[in-house]
Amino acid sequence: MRFCLNVDHIATLRNARGEVQPDPVTFALMAEQYGVDGIVVHLREDRRHINERDVRLLRELVTTKLDLEMAAVNEIIDIACDIQPELATLVPERRQELTTEGGINVIDNIDQIRSAIERLHESEIPVSIFIEPDINQIDAAVEINADFIEIHTGNYANAVSEEDIFEELERIRIAAKHAKKLGLGVNAGHGLDYNNMKEFLAIEEIDEVSIGHAVLARSMFVGVEQAVKEMIKIIRHR
């Protein structure tokens, strides 16, 4: 399982003062040195954290893989086509939300998502869609030629009782198997942390996880190197 680090909230902290520190690009490059497999950023329409300068610099400097999360809207698709990330991940976006709250409803927005995928594919950018672990959503993603899905793991992360944790893991496992069978690459993310990753590793069909908050928060206490390496140790079992 590969581990990609989302650095959005380094930019949130920077923007709180409207100045230049802490710099998400520096953080991303340090994390690459410590072994992450890729960097993820979400360029939101309201630019609340990551901005165009960050994305363009990351494009120049990231040597692993850049995954650009984005809404399926023309303004951001134009930027993606220009900077050419290794992966574009389509996510739902609402101004009022604190963070992405769930997967895209591909079935209800099929024309918009299809045309976003077509435009990104014209620029040879592989596309992932962030969705719930739901067979119908996966089938819709295949129908419109997505290359990957990213399974929303928020409900698993929020589950408290053993029974709920087991149920959510099963939903994800079934969805991941289904997606793999149909030829999709399978990523996952949201709310994954140093504890819940341990059980999550049992789902062998997941190719890659995208983790942000837990690692960024821990880095404040133990430093970037230790926070990144601890997560890598869990994910790679060493």
Q: Determine whether 121 is an active site residue.
A: no
3-class SS at 66?
strand
Active-site choice (168, 190, 205, 208): 190
Q: CA 112 to CA 199: how far, in whole Å?
A: 35
Minimum Å distance from CB 87 to ligand PXP?
A: 11
- Number of Cβ atoms within 10 Å of the Cβ of 217: 12
What is the Cα–Cα distance from 95 to 152, expressed in whole angstroms?
Answer: 19
Q: How many residues are present in the chain?
A: 238
In 116-176, DSSP assigns E strands to 127-131, 148-152
Q: Which residues contact ligand PXP by CB under 6 A?
A: 6, 8, 42, 69, 89, 91, 99-100, 130, 150, 189-192, 210-214
Q: Based on CB atoms, which residue is closest to ligand PXP, 48 or 177?
A: 48
9, 42, 49, 178: the active-site residue: 42
Dihedrals phi, psi of 6, to nearest 5 degrees: -90, 125
Instruction: Give the nearest distance from C-beta 8 to ligand PXP in angstroms.
Output: 6
Active site includes 69? yes
Is 75 catalytic? The answer is no
Of 9, 32, 49, 69, catalytic? 69
Smallest separation, CB 235 to ligand PXP (Å): 13
Residues known to be catalytic? 42, 69, 190
